[in-house]
Amino acid sequence: MLKAYKYRMYPTKQQEEMFSKHFGCVRVIYNWALEQKIKTYEQDGKAVSRFTLNKTIPTLYEDMEWLKEVNSQSLRGATLNLDNAFTRFFREKTGFPNFKSKKNPVQSFSVPQYYKVDFEKNKVKLPKIGWIKTILHRHFDGKCKTATVSKIPSGKYFISILVDDGKELPDKQDFDENSAVGIDVGIKDFAIMSNGEKIDNPRHLNNSVKRLKVLQKRLSRKQRGSKNRDKAKQQIAKLHEKIANQRNDFQHKLTSRLISENQAIALETLTVSGMLKNHKLAQSISDVSWSSFVTKLEYKAEWYGKSILRIGQFEPSTKICNVCGYHNNNITLVERQWQCPDCGASHDRDVNAAINIKKFALNKQNLIGI
């Protein structure tokens, strides 16, 4: 079973310079590889493979000798990342891979092998860089796979180590109506369960909007290229980091509880990208981060042998009475409560939707994944 462990790194000034060289060189190779793929396809209608690109990388050293200063395996890792980007583009219909900019506040490079982890001394050794102080707060046992070093906008460095613990993923556990739950996600309430429970939306970004506006106003008054402007940017980045950490902590705790309490979880598939086009709701939708929530549910379900049931996005879960099945087309968005004209049952709009999502999933109605 593969698991990732993330730790904060504290490099020296010299090591920071080596990190910057790795970030830059990996970016150059990624952009070069993307350019080669585009040109080859336009000229011959064929796709150039990652292995062909990797064989060509050494020929670049003549014109770009500084590429020799970094770990060659990290350079080859750039072509692997590009391959993965194209895979997502074709299979998951994500956007076409973009060229990477050195102005991107998030930088990273990978180290496939030949690195060492010392838990006793709280250090990690990377090729061409050496031993780096790292807070190894979580111990792991298993075979180390790829490690990824990253720098976030606040200026902090992290290393994420992928570990194979040698264990097999557990078989999926059986479930029935009593051991499954349906979830309808929202903005007013983060999640509404088919059992009637509602999880409040903590609104992490909204709670920091005033502070964020103050910092952005200060930034706008600073002279471009000045140290004070850089400091103002750092303050904004740190606030965004705090918000992201709060959101991440909330989602980890909630997903762990949901996985431990249920054998199966039914969800409705949402097209978040389309919803973000609604400018009135875009900030609120970004703040709740449903995609991140679902991703955490999915990999934790795999770890513990639980099932995630996803129904199609066009099921009328809100408008169908979960008692008699009557389809009420007269419900508007502002109506939070409604009474079924056929059987007289009273419904909370969101709880009713969650119950129907569970029903659709258990009946395998428009089910798109387990």
Q: Which residues are catalytic?
A: 184, 268, 350
Query: Do residues 258 and 301 make contact, with C-beta atoms less than 8 angstroms apart?
Result: no
Instruction: Compute the C-alpha angle 344/345/350, nearest 5°.
Output: 135
d(CA 204, CA 284): 10
Amino acid at 108: S
If you compute the radius of gyration of the chain from its CA atoms, what whole number of angstroms results? 24
* Residues 314/181, Cβ–Cβ less than 8 Å: no
Residues 96, 101, 103, 108: is their CA dihedral positive or negative? positive
Tokens representing residue 100 in the block: 């990477």
CB atoms inside a 10 Å sphere around CB 325? 12
Q: How far is CA 318 from CA 241, 298, 315, in A?
A: 35, 24, 9
11 SS3 class: coil
Q: What is the rounded distance in angstroms from the CA atom of residue 204 to the CA atom of residue 245?
A: 10
For residue 184, give the H/E element and its range.
Answer: strand 180-185
Dihedral sign, CA of 315, 317, 318, 320? positive
User: The tokens of 45 are what?
Assistant: 């209608």
H or E element, residue 84: helix 72-91
Distance between CA atoms of residues 32 and 64, nearest Å: 12
Separation between Cα atoms, residue 369 and residue 311, nearest integer Å: 7
CB 148 within 8 A of CB 173: no
How far is 230 from 17, CA to CA, in rounded Å? Answer: 18
3-state secondary structure 237-276: HHHHHHHHHHHHHHHHHHHHHHHHHCCEEEEECCCHHHHC
